[in-house]
Amino acid sequence: MSIKRVFILEDEKHTRDLLCMVVREHPNLELLVATKSLSDARKAMKIYAKPDVFLIDLGLPDGSGLELIRDIRKNDASIAIMVLSVFGDERHVVDAIEQGAGGYIHKDEPLEDLAQHIKNVLSGDSPISPSIAKHILNRMQTISKPTKSIEPLRNEVLSPLSKRERDVLQVLSRGFNRIEVANHLKVSPHTITTHIKNIYRKLNVHSRTEALFEAYHLGLIGESD
């Protein structure tokens, strides 16, 4: 794994210092900058080189981390974004994912697991705290699939997913990572990465969780697939 640059947005000094320590102590991570407010983060984005991953808190003294996620996604769909927040309610979780967060970790989780979560989101996986995952499942279970007679499938306007891409999404929906999906479908991890990138592009999403939301909504995958 090459050296990956990390951008931190965390207003609480003690937590920010701990995050910086975790990043600095990891041989494959480099701390690009650590900011404490939305305005500081926006200024830093104009000064520093492009990071590989953002760690973003939501509750900030001058706004919400969701605003920064939107700013990032307006300009770049490829940068990894992981929310690290004390908020664990459904509204914050779903809003963050819909805005483009690729992972959502609750601050109650052990700090020693953070480096692995960062590596996971950088590799295209979607690290989600167990206490957070229930909100995603609830949202998926309440999404009603539109019928063709009421609303044309949006993938007719975008690019339709291939059968293999639907297979990849279906296996991903079971919680498997890229390596496990590759083993399940008997292809290489590189092939799975290519499929995932194509899925994101066709569905106009930025993370696995967003892709699953969209796929359930469009009726592309389901429990019986």
Residues of the chain with CATH 1.10.10.10: 144-218
For residue 143, the model assigns a pLDDT of: 53
The token pair at 74 is 């307006």
- Alpha-carbon distance 182 to 130, whole Å? 24
Pick among 3.20.20.190, 2.60.40.10, 1.10.10.10, 3.30.460.80: CATH of 144-218: 1.10.10.10
Q: How far is CA 154 from CA 143, 215, 219, in A?
A: 15, 10, 10
Query: Residue range 72-92: average pLDDT?
Result: 86
The token pair at 84 is 């690290």
For residue 29, the model assigns a pLDDT of: 94
Mean pLDDT of the chain: 82
Query: Residue range 90-106: average pLDDT?
Result: 86
What pairs with residue 8 in β-bridges? 34, 55
Pick among 3.30.465.10, 3.40.50.2300, 3.20.20.370, 3.40.50.300: CATH of 4-138: 3.40.50.2300
- Alpha-carbon distance 99 to 170, whole Å? 22
Alpha helices in 51-188 (DSSP H): 65-75, 90-99, 114-122, 130-142, 163-172, 178-185
Residues of the chain with CATH 3.40.50.2300: 4-138
Phi then psi dihedrals of residue 29, to 5 deg? -120, 145
Say if residue 150's pLDDT is above 50. no
Q: How far is CA 5 from CA 34, 51, 94, 177, 206, in A?
A: 11, 5, 26, 23, 19
Say if residue 156's pLDDT is above 70. no
How would residue 90 be classed by pLDDT, with cut points 50, 70 and 90? confident
For residue range 129-142, list pLDDT tens digits in order: 877 776 666 665 56
* Percent of the chain residues topping a pLDDT of 70: 86
For residue range 35-57, list pLDDT tens digits in order: 999 999 999 999 999 999 999 99
For residue range 170-223, list pLDDT tens digits in order: 888 777 778 888 888 998 888 888 888 888 888 887 777 778 777 777 777 765
SS (H, E, C) 108-126: CCCHHHHHHHHHHHHCCCC
What sign has the CA pseudo-torsion 15, 70, 121, 92? Answer: positive
Residues near 108 by beta carbon (within 8 Å), at least 6 away in sequence: 86, 129, 131
Three-class DSSP category at 35: strand
How would residue 65 be classed by pLDDT, with cut points 50, 70 and 90? very high
Burial pattern 174-205, b for ≥16 Cβ within 10 A else e, equals: eebbbeebbebbebebeebeebbebbbebbeb
How many other CB atoms are found less than 10 A from the CB of residue 171?
Answer: 19
- Alpha-carbon distance 46 to 224, whole Å? 47
